[in-house]
Structure 1
């Protein structure tokens, strides 16, 4: 238990920390930049911690090649980002009052400190991941990953800096909910568990998660854009392109990847019969 003096000192430090966050880190003009830096720093921290923890607790990690260890650490970064941005996206889109239909302002121009901060973290992640893809190309992904990340980075950065189209940006980012499952599948394969029950269950979960988050949710988003197209038309030209073109390209890529998921799952189920 802390004595009264220690409690007062702790409260003082807490108040100073809250003031620092409110007046500096979350000050409106600085939110985009501090969140990007925070996203980049977090990626570096996750990479280093993953390397340290995996070396100690996972025997299979040491037997991997250097390239595989880099991918192992890289996938930990994308998993942490996916969990964060999925939770943020679900809250912003479906739980918060930011995009309530009762407000008078257009849905396409609404933003908040929290929504901008979340997008900044995501921009930091895409910068780091895209940099790693280029540096180790094609070990961490081919041209399709480059296209996906460049489109995502441009769209998220524009929404963050302009405040336009953040609703639709977050709708698209909900699709990151499939990333942990995809990464877990790679980890199971790297650990020699491709024939395990966990690998099969993971494949089934990926199928349904992908269907909901990257197919059905995109259909819902396109329908939402159609219903509010009068507001979309009032956006800047760049914003209109990012709302209308980028999701279509990503949806096509999602369908192509989904066909591969179906083939892979069918192949796995066939082998078990």
Structure 2
């Protein structure tokens, strides 16, 4: 029995060592990171979608009463919520806490800095945008109209370029922080489906969306453009495609954010007026 136990332990250690080598030398090796991260993002989206369907079928009465397309949108929003929490957290870390993009480092240009973690995280986000955009186009316009197609297409292109080239990752992460508003938007939809549109929770959610949107999708974009202005001498040294992406994509998204913000403001005013 002791001999068998030792053999089992040795076999497990062997598999563990082989697994570590596989992850270190292949899956997370620099040349393979973009590919493994995108595939990982796609797999994670599929996993979250299926788990959402399984969990809410058994534990949510509201989910059981939905139509087929509403259930698809419910699961899709669960997927987008998990991605938003992940990428907003990673983005905040790199923008506000990590030394990777610190101005104190003068040995290289800020627009060309990257790391294995920063590249891998962007790859996961690319996987999400590809998965979500595919669902939007496949079921168009049930999961969103042309604005969502434009938003996801531009985001996927910009993030994919930043991931593969290593250029402009700081500005990509600044824009991706805006995903912090996604869980609140999705929660609003869930509350609506649950028949809680007149509840206090729905009102509080609207107020949170207003302030989160103002900070993450308006003020932070202003800060990003100001940062680009201060570091323009470094931005202009990027490849022409990356240079254009730094200006074009955030500008288009900023306009869309302002349009959506106006709708959010009008909706909040309408809810507050009904409460008086």
What band does the TM-score fall into relative to the shorter chain?
over 0.9
Identify which of 169, 173, 179 aligns with 2:172. Answer: 169
How far off its partner does 1:125 sit?
Answer: 0.3
Q: TM-score if structure 2 supplies the norm length?
A: 0.94
Structure 1 runs not aligned, ≥5 long: none
Identify which of 198, 201, 212 aligns with 2:201. Answer: 198
Identify which of 123, 133, 136 aligns with 2:136. Answer: 133
Structure 2 runs not aligned, ≥5 long: none
The answer for the alignment partner of 1:87 in structure 2 is 89
Work out whether 1:212 is the aligned partner of 2:215: yes
- Specify the SS of the correspondent of 2:198: coil
How far off its partner does 1:102 sit?
Answer: 2.1
Identify which of 249, 269, 273 aligns with 2:272. Answer: 269
Q: How many residues align?
A: 271
- Specify the SS of the correspondent of 1:28: coil
The answer for the alignment partner of 2:153 in structure 1 is 150
The answer for the alignment partner of 1:234 in structure 2 is 237
The answer for the alignment partner of 1:49 in structure 2 is 51
Indicate how the Cα distance of structure 1 residues 14 and 200 shifts in structure 2: closer, same or farther if over 3 A, else same.
farther
Structure 1 segments of 4+ aligned residues over 4 angstroms from their partners: 3-15
Q: State the distance in 2 between where 1:272 and 1:15 align.
A: 63
Identify which of 258, 261, 266 aligns with 2:261. Answer: 258
Identify which of 58, 61, 72 aligns with 1:59. Answer: 61
Q: TM-score if structure 1 supplies the norm length?
A: 0.95
CA deviations on 1:182-234 (whole Å, 9 max, x unpaired) are 00000000111111111111111111100110001000000000000010111
Cα RMSD after superposing both structures: 1.5
Identify which of 24, 27, 36 aligns with 1:25. Answer: 27
- Specify the SS of the correspondent of 1:141: coil
